[in-house]
Structure 1
Amino acid sequence: MEITIPTPAGDIDGYLATPTGPGPFPAVVIVHDAIGLSNDAREITDRFASEGYLALSPNLYSRGGRFRCVRQVFKDMFARSGRAFDDIEASRVLLSAREDCSGKIGIAGYCMGGGFALVAASRSFDVSAPYYGQLPRDLSVLDDACPVVASFGRRDPSLRGAATKLSAALTECNVPHDVKEYPDAGHSFANKMGPAPVQAFAKVVGFGYHEPSDRDAWQRVMTFFGEYLKTPSKG
């Protein structure tokens, strides 16, 4: 359902999907790709809810529309600060305050959102799942990261070598992780980018949905999230 998320800079839009049953449920903040809070982003949110997660996708383009906001949102991502991160934190706070939330909250992000999910791994989340996210320029931001399950496509021209680099950084920081690069996938392999002709063109330039890779990545994310979000806290 469509909801309003209170933030320090005013309310923004969001999409909330709830699992069936009484709860409480672990939760996930899902950060959309550069296209925005599209039908695809809503379907991904519903997909998390179907697996038992209270799922919330904030609309990072709420303040003026996609074309006005996209530059500022990317600027926030590379700066590792700004309203976009405030919006993500406000989403986490909203979930944590709900009676049907168990208190354990992860973050997942796609494309642009994957970059946010990586940086936010060091900011009060219990687990992070970046999909083909841009790596932080300074990988020391991951020193205090929560567990990370990351997915990349080898045919992605924009992130060559990112999986290897991220895995090495997380190993050095002793952060539990599962990083995988899919040989037959490109960028956005877990996003359905509109009609078939659009997807066909996207694949030519190294983008586009790839069902086998998406299916495997989803299974890995669910296993990882199950371990860190659904397992009761020790003690």
Structure 2
Amino acid sequence: MKSPIYKTIPLGPAEGSGYGRRSVLKGLAAAPLASGLANVLANPKLARAAAETLEEVQLTLSNGDTVSASLARPADTPAQAVLLIHEWWGLNDQIKTMAAEFAEQGYLALAVDLYGGEVAEAGNREKARELTQELDPEVATETLVAWIDWLRDHDDSTGKVATVGWCFGGAWSLNASIATPVDATVIYYGRVDRSVEDLKKLKGPVLGHFGRQDEAITAEMVETFASRMDEAGKDLTLYWYDAGHAFANPTGARYDEEDAATAWDRTLVFLKAQLRE
């Protein structure tokens, strides 16, 4: 079956913001990414307040190393679970705030740390590149598989798990779903150059958000991915946006509010459909 490819239809921006720790979370629930959440992410103090609502959790890998993640619990449990994978900057307040927003949307949300607590300051590309180069792919894979198992078995989880990642994390969202079965995979402009044989290992459907103006994750790469997904017989929903790389990150120079809001709404619709009982 041919994989569907859609063009974006931008949504109009809304208004809203929050002040203080409690009102930040209320703002997240009332006004998703188009305004309230974008305002929080772009404001370091508000992002810090949202991030501080998360709980730090740990587990031990087979080699004895302890790895950490930040957990956001929804109001009602048991709930479907979402594993979030950070950009190449590391597990910063932006990604933790996204976990808080997923929890406001009713998901048990876990933001994983693949860098052992290290974070590159915004704009410090040299440090971010260094962190990615130092990452051991085998350890990263084991870490993500372990956290997926942890989420699936958690008392507050229904057992349904999806992965979501941005940029560096978008690639690892796909990698994790290839390494172990998950119910759904969301990729925001991540590298998707995996073989047909690798893609055959996927269990659940994949949703991808990509920018036509992205010079790093090219249209050729994405179209090859779509063709390989088709050949592997896997379900792919692919959305193109007239935007550049990292268009959904309110803290970056290439942020596009309308496309970010559209991608967020599509992500929520996709997860609701794929993780329902």
Alignment counterpart, residue 78 of structure 2, candidates 21, 24, 31: 24
Q: 1:192: how far off? A: 2.5
Distance of 1:41 and 1:63 partners within structure 2: 13
Q: 1:100: how far off? A: 1.0
Alignment counterpart, residue 57 of structure 1, candidates 96, 111, 121: 111
- Residue type of the partner of 1:70? T
Distance of 2:118 and 2:78 partners within structure 1: 35
SS at match of 2:60: coil
Q: 1:57: how far off? A: 0.9
Deviation string 1:158-196 (CA, Å, 9 cap, x unpaired) is: 11113322222222222112111101x111111223xxx
Q: Which residue of 1 aligns with 2:259?
A: 213
2:68 aligned with 1:13? yes
Distance of 2:214 and 2:70 partners within structure 1: 29
Distance of 2:269 and 2:157 partners within structure 1: 20
Alignment counterpart, residue 101 of structure 1, candidates 147, 150, 157: 157
Query: What aligned pairs does 1:1-235 form with structure 2 within 5 A after superposition?
Result: 1-8=54-61, 9=63, 10-21=65-76, 23-62=77-116, 67=127, 69-73=131-135, 76=137, 82-122=138-178, 123-145=180-202, 146-161=204-219, 162-183=221-242, 185-193=243-251, 199=252, 202=253, 208-230=254-276, 232=277
Deviation string 1:139-175 (CA, Å, 9 cap, x unpaired) is: 4311121210010111110111133222222222221
Deviation string 1:6-58 (CA, Å, 9 cap, x unpaired) is: 1314222211111112x110001110000111111111111211211100011
- Residue type of the partner of 1:14? A
Distance of 1:108 and 1:179 partners within structure 2: 14
Q: Which residue of 2 aligns with 1:79?
A: none
Count of residues in correspondence between the two structures: 211
Give the ranges of 4+ consecutive aligned residues of structure 1 lying more than 3 Å apart after TM superposition.
63-69
* CA distance 1:39–1:64, change in 2 (3 Å): closer
Distance of 2:153 and 2:263 partners within structure 1: 30
Listed as ranges, the gaps of 5+ residues in structure 1 are: 77-81, 194-198, 203-207
Higher-RCO chain (CA-CA 8 Å, sequence separation at least 6): 2
- Residue type of the partner of 1:225? L
- Residue type of the partner of 2:211? G
Root-mean-square deviation (CA), in Å?
1.8
Distance of 1:45 and 1:65 partners within structure 2: 17
- Residue type of the partner of 1:7? T
Distance of 1:128 and 1:192 partners within structure 2: 22
Paired-residue identity, %: 28
Question: Is 1:153–1:187's contact at 8 Å kept on the other side of the alignment?
Answer: yes
SS at match of 1:121: helix
Q: Return the TM-score normalized by structure 2.
A: 0.71
Question: Is 1:5–1:94's contact at 8 Å kept on the other side of the alignment?
Answer: no
Distance of 1:3 and 1:94 partners within structure 2: 14
Question: Is 1:7–1:86's contact at 8 Å kept on the other side of the alignment?
Answer: no
Question: Is 1:5–1:91's contact at 8 Å kept on the other side of the alignment?
Answer: no
Question: Is 1:119–1:142's contact at 8 Å kept on the other side of the alignment?
Answer: no
SS at match of 1:6: strand
- Residue type of the partner of 2:228? A
Q: 1:63: how far off? A: 6.3
Listed as ranges, the gaps of 5+ residues in structure 2 are: 1-53, 121-126
- Residue type of the partner of 2:184? V
Q: Return the TM-score normalized by structure 1.
A: 0.83
Distance of 1:100 and 1:63 partners within structure 2: 25
